[in-house]
Amino acid sequence: MSEDRKDDAADTRRAAELRGRLVDELVAAGHITSAEVETAFRTVPRHMFAPEASLEEAYAQDIVVVKRNEHGTPISTVSAPEIQAFMLEQAAIGSDMRVLEIGSGGFNAALISELVGPTGQVTTVDIDPDVTDRAARFLQAAGYSRVNVVLADAEAGVPEFAPYDRILVTVGAWDIPPAWREQLAPGGRIVVPLRIRGLTRSLALDRDGDHLVAQSAMICGFVKMQGDGAHHERLLLLRGEEIALRFDDGFPENPHLLDGVLRTERIEVWTGVTAGRGESFATLQLWLATTLAGFCLLAASGDEADGILVAPGNRWFNLAMVDGDSFAYLALRPVGPDGMSEFGVHAFGPHAKQIAETMADQIRTWDRDQRHGPGPQFAVWPIDTSDDLLNASPDGKPENVLITDKRHSRITISWPAAG
């Protein structure tokens, strides 16, 4: 046997070993919960879709960057295995189904192909010819030549192979275009990482009359949609390019009011609300996005941010709000042993005290009324739906409802009544 063939055999054995270890980890962590998804992950050779990575990198719990733009920002990746796993679980793909994947790469389409079986149909679409060429080559080499690989802007879906029992979006979307709903078969489901006020959740959306209702929501992150579905955040620079506020929507009408705001005294308010090490507070993000006018995200880099935005030794988070000439953001400080920390608010500006108290009150309200509850309900409505219908509560009880208008649709985040 030649040395090359020996090396190939050793790599095949090593890949199988690493793949098995990865799947064991995904099952143990609860990212894979069904036998069907587990079998697909144990079957598809992930490394064949990431040849630029080592075997160890291909089977790590991380993304593999496929392509970057001129600024070095990733614009195409092989997603992290845990994200692919829980989105496939959200999709609940069965045999014989017709599935559209928006955002290609090859590996996820191969997994879907295993799930639908030989009598199902898989179509994967991407706007970038480099990505589709690569996906087609790798799918062919890995034995999944039946997958339809389409070069197109997915804003219009892929009508050629519609209708679809499942539409699985693997790029960050800001909106749900009409074509996706129109090409969804009766009883179908859209799984999409939807960005709302800068926060992204993977939603499993089922049709309910004239709108879509989420059956589950998972925190995630993806490269952003390109083409007609692209939506760009706006930045409000506070100090050069090192400290800025990011607005997905609702950019201030008079941003100049914050000129020089970082030269004012920083006000701190602590809430008495604590969290343990590793404890998730994803619903706090959504609660603040729902209840705070002027909600945005704080972005900071560089050494000059230290000591300005946070006191030495304190860690800060990027949830923020603006009110006229002042802004505030979420902070965290250690309190006692075992990694326990307390939520607080830092604020700058002439009305720093008031805005800090406003945010602190909502943190306490979340802790009292929503922290241990079921979380919010997401829904996607036609763009011409009236506010009265969007604010209606199914059980007649009052709710906190965030209504966000997109280009094609209106998104609601509805919270259950306290208690």
Span 333-353, pLDDT tens digits: 888 778 888 999 999 999 999
When pLDDT is averaged across residues 126-153 and rounded to a whole number, the result is 96
Q: Are 88 and 127 in contact (CB under 8 A)?
A: no
Say if CB 246 and CB 238 are below 8 A apart: no
Q: 244-278: per-residue pLDDT in tens? A: 999 998 999 999 999 999 999 999 999 999 988 87
Please list the helix, strand and coil fractions of the chain in percent, rounded to the nearest 5, in that order.
30, 35, 35
Q: Which of the listed ranges 49-53, 300-304, 369-373 does the model predict with the highest average pLDDT?
A: 369-373
Which residue out of 79, 113, 202, 409 is catalytically annotated? 79
Q: What is the pLDDT of residue 338?
A: 80
Q: What is the pLDDT at residue 302? A: 61
Runs of H (alpha helix) within 143-171 = none
What pLDDT score does 68 carry? 64
Q: How far apart are CA 61 and CA 58, in angstroms?
A: 9
Residue written as tokens 């007649």?
Answer: 396
CB count within 10 Å of CB 146 equals 12
Instruction: Name the H helices within 292-343.
Output: none
Q: What is the structure's pLDDT at 381? A: 96
Residue 175, classified by CB atoms within 10 Å of its CB into exposed (0-12), middle (13-18) or buried (19+), is buried
Task: Over range 300-306, report the average pLDDT.
Answer: 62
The answer on pLDDT for 378 being more than 80 is yes
What is the reported pLDDT for 376? 94
Per-residue pLDDT at 283: 92
Q: Which residue has the higher pLDDT, 260 or 70?
A: 260
Distance CA 104, CA 201 (A): 19
Please tell me the predicted confidence (pLDDT) of residue 393: 55
Between 394 and 122, the more confident residue is: 122
CB atoms within 10 A of CB 63: 19
- pLDDT, tens digit, 9 for 90 and up, residues 121-137: 999 999 999 999 999 99
pLDDT above 50 (res 1): no
pLDDT at 240: 79
Helix (H, G, I), strand (E, B) or coil at 380: strand
Closest CA to 85 of 39, 49, 16: 39
Q: Quick one: pLDDT at residue 41?
A: 97
- Which of 328-342, 364-378, 392-406 tops mean pLDDT? 364-378
| Of 3-7, 11-15, 162-166, minimum mean pLDDT range | 3-7
Q: Which residue has the tokens 């069907």?
A: 36
Residue linked to tokens 């280009």: 407
| pLDDT at res. 312 | 44
Cis before 163 (ω within 30) = yes
Q: What is the pTM of this model?
A: 0.90
Query: Treating both helix axes as pointing N-terminal to C-terminal, what angle do 81-91 and 3-28 enclose, rounded to 10 degrees?
Result: 60
Label residue 6 by pLDDT band (50, 70, 90). very low
Q: Tell me 368's DSSP state.
A: I
Higher pLDDT, residue 281 or 307: 281
Q: Does residue 75 surpass a pLDDT of 60?
A: no
Tell me the pLDDT band of 182, cut-offs 50, 70 and 90: very high
80 confidence band (pLDDT: 50, 70, 90):
confident
Strands (E), 209-282: 211-219, 234-239, 243-247, 267-275
> What is the model's pLDDT at position 205?
98
Residue 171 has pLDDT above 90, yes or no: yes
The closest alpha carbon to 233, from 219, 246, 250, belongs to 246
Residue-level pLDDT at 400: 84
Percent of the chain with pLDDT over 70: 89
Q: What is the pLDDT of residue 3?
A: 42
Q: What mean pLDDT, rounded, does the chain reach?
A: 89
| Residue whose token pair is 């008031």 | 354
State the pLDDT at residue 322.
Answer: 97
Q: Any idea which of 89-98, 203-212, 291-300, 313-322 has the lowest mean pLDDT?
A: 313-322
Identify the pLDDT of residue 52.
83
CA separation for the pair 193, 388 (Å, rounded): 27
Sign (positive or negative) of CA dihedral 87, 89, 90, 92 = positive
Residue 79 among the catalytic residues: yes
Alpha-carbon separation of residue 369 from 280, 283, 361, 416 (angstroms):
16, 11, 12, 9
